[in-house]
Chain A
Amino acid sequence: MTTLLEIRDLRLQYGQFKALHGLDVEIAEGEIVAVIGANGAGKSSLIKGICCTEGQTSGSVKLDGRELLGLTPPQIARAGIGLVPEGRRIFPSLSVEENILLGGQLGQDHGGTPWTLERIYELFPDLTAKRHLSGTMLSGGQQQMIAIGRALMTNPRVLLCDEISLGLAPTIINRLYEQLIALASEGLAVLVVEQAMRKALEISDRYYCILEGRVSLSGISADADEDRIAQAYFGR
């Protein structure tokens, strides 16, 4: 598989606080990569570093050879990075459909079949009947579907998912991850940031465990050794 997103020596700091101390992460086309770690380990900072949304970054984040560091969030979205943010961030004054359509205004076509509203509704049929309701009136799981749909509408090459299982019932989490696996099988690269370690390892091809802003362990998810991961996860 060809590497699509290549992160080298990524450092991120907020003022004097250093959140990332030089991360190396790679994702290939059609691959699901899980980033696991405890609270405050730097998982969400990795997403912020890739999207250049917060803090000062250094190092290199290349998408298909193109450097992303230094670009603005709108440029990064157009380059092919789709973001499913932590907390879903649904806009209350926009309907379900408008929230999804907003994604279409952010990205651009990168070849392949472009995402349309119809395709999103096929992927998440639950949303069809509620398309005209305010996005925030839906359940947590359905809001997560909106957030994923909105990110897909940017026609991303890499989908970044930040804690999508947070606060959701296990059946909903399973459904969402099934959809992500299906998307990856079509060639989409998916980076999943998760606190739920077992689930993340179950659905991913490879994993990176982060501890205090550094990669403490990485490998093939199917070969993951729980004891070693627990040590890398908690640092003891």
Chain B
Amino acid sequence: MELVNTISQGVLLGGLFALYALGLSLVFGVMRIVNIAHGDLIVVLAYIGLTVTEFLGVSVIVAAPLILVVAGGLGWVLQRGLFEFVPRHDPLIPLLVAFGLSIILQNLLLMGYGADPQKLSLGRLEQASVEILPNLHIGVFSLIIFGLAVAMIGGLQLMIYRTGFGRALRAVSDNEANAAMLGLDTRAIFRKAFVIVMLTVAVAALLMAIRGNFDPASGSTRLLTAFEAIVIGGLGSMWGTLAGGVIIGIAQMVGAQIDASWQVLAGHLVFLVLLFLRPSGLFPKNDG
């Protein structure tokens, strides 16, 4: 039962890792930008969540719609004011711009909030659990995280494969120059895409901030986990990203059972092994 409990905790944790990775995967898939600042954007939105809840004196759930609006606006501003001006013919240029953005964001957060770890609270819901099998208790909040991950991946899949915007997104992802030549407004598509990316980032940020502590330097570990989930799952496959997140989650939980110091390391080791065995990921295709 101990092993079942560990694995189920790992599966649920994988949902959070998949949420970290969703936006990163979209930015890379559509805009071909490796957004090194993705982890820091998660942390920025966690701090925005903290500020909004403290300023308004309301719970995260009440403040969430406002935080999502702010996140969407931030996405539009980032694309319109920064990434739109970045030449993408050489992938190194946007990579360096994102790296610079990452450093700027970390230092701004350090200046504004200090280095002390912060956390958002969800009250009693954080501790609540349900017994799904005899002696097997699952945290309600962990279930919510996993449910949100599945719902968001399903929603994004529907958007990408069942809507006109998704069709345009895939066309631009296939060949931006051809899409523009035929009359697709690629700039508008990129702006909308970045807004959607930041909405996923906001959800991931709030859940991360409720689940554990965060500080201005937390972004890099989130970025690394997101990258690992994407690579394990296979580039372009959202359900694969969830599978990747779940694998890292299980590895971390099993590692933690062996020794607490093994938790993070176990995730990275499993990633390295899978990268060696399946370099193109478990589900290496573009149809998710």
Contact = CB atoms under 8 A, between A and B. Distances in A.
Interface of A: 51, 53, 72-74, 76-78, 83, 85, 89, 91-94, 98, 101-107, 150, 154
Contacts of B185: 72, 74
Contact of B167 (A83, A92, A94): A94
B173 A93 contact: yes
Interface of B: 164, 167-168, 170-171, 173-175, 178-185, 286-287
Contact of B175 (A51, A89, A150): A89
B168 A102 contact: yes
Max chain A Cβ within 10 angstroms of own Cβ: one of B164, B179, B183, B184? B183
29 contacts: A51-B181, A51-B183, A73-B180, A73-B181, A73-B183, A74-B184, A74-B185, A76-B183, A83-B181, A83-B182, A83-B183, A85-B178, A85-B181, A85-B182, A89-B178, A91-B171, A91-B175, A93-B170, A93-B173, A93-B174, A94-B170, A98-B167, A101-B167, A102-B167, A102-B168, A102-B184, A105-B164, A105-B184, A154-B183
B32 to A, nearest CB: 14
Contacts of A94: 167, 170-171, 174
Max chain B Cβ within 10 angstroms of own Cβ: one of A73, A91, A103? A91
A104 B184 CA distance: 11
The 6 closest A-B CB pairs, nearest first, are: A77-B183, A106-B183, A89-B178, A74-B185, A91-B174, A91-B171
A177 to B, nearest CB: 22
A154 B184 CA distance: 11
Contacts of B179: 91
Contacts of A89: 175, 178, 181-182
A67 to B, nearest CB: 17
Contacts of A103: 182
Contacts of B180: 53, 73
Max chain A Cβ within 10 angstroms of own Cβ: one of B170, B173, B181, B287? B181
Contacts of B167: 94, 98, 101-102, 105
B286 to A, nearest CB: 5
A101 B183 contact: no
B181 A53 contact: yes
Max chain B Cβ within 10 angstroms of own Cβ: one of A77, A92, A93, A102? A93
B89 to A, nearest CB: 15
Nearest to B285: A93
Nearest to B168: A105
Nearest to B173: A93
Contacts of B171: 91, 93-94, 102
Nearest to A88: B178
B283 to A, nearest CB: 15
Contacts of A76: 183
A93 B286 CA distance: 7
A104 B167 CA distance: 11
Given A93-B286, A94-B167, A102 B174 contact: no
A150 B181 CA distance: 13
B174 A73 contact: no
B149 to A, nearest CB: 24
A103 B164 CA distance: 10
A233 to B, nearest CB: 27
Nearest to B181: A53
A93 B288 CA distance: 11
Nearest to A76: B183
Contacts of A107: 183
A149 to B, nearest CB: 13
Contacts of A72: 185
Contacts of A150: 182
Contacts of A93: 170-171, 173-174, 286-287
Contacts of A105: 164, 167-168, 184
Contacts of A91: 170-171, 174-175, 178-179
Contacts of B175: 89, 91
B157 to A, nearest CB: 14
Nearest to A98: B167
Contacts of A74: 183-185
B174 A92 contact: yes
Contacts of B170: 91, 93-94, 98
Contacts of B168: 102, 105
Nearest to A107: B183
A89 B181 CA distance: 10
Nearest to B171: A91
Contacts of B173: 93
B165 to A, nearest CB: 9
Contacts of B287: 93
Max chain A Cβ within 10 angstroms of own Cβ: one of B164, B170, B171, B287? B171
A98 B168 CA distance: 9
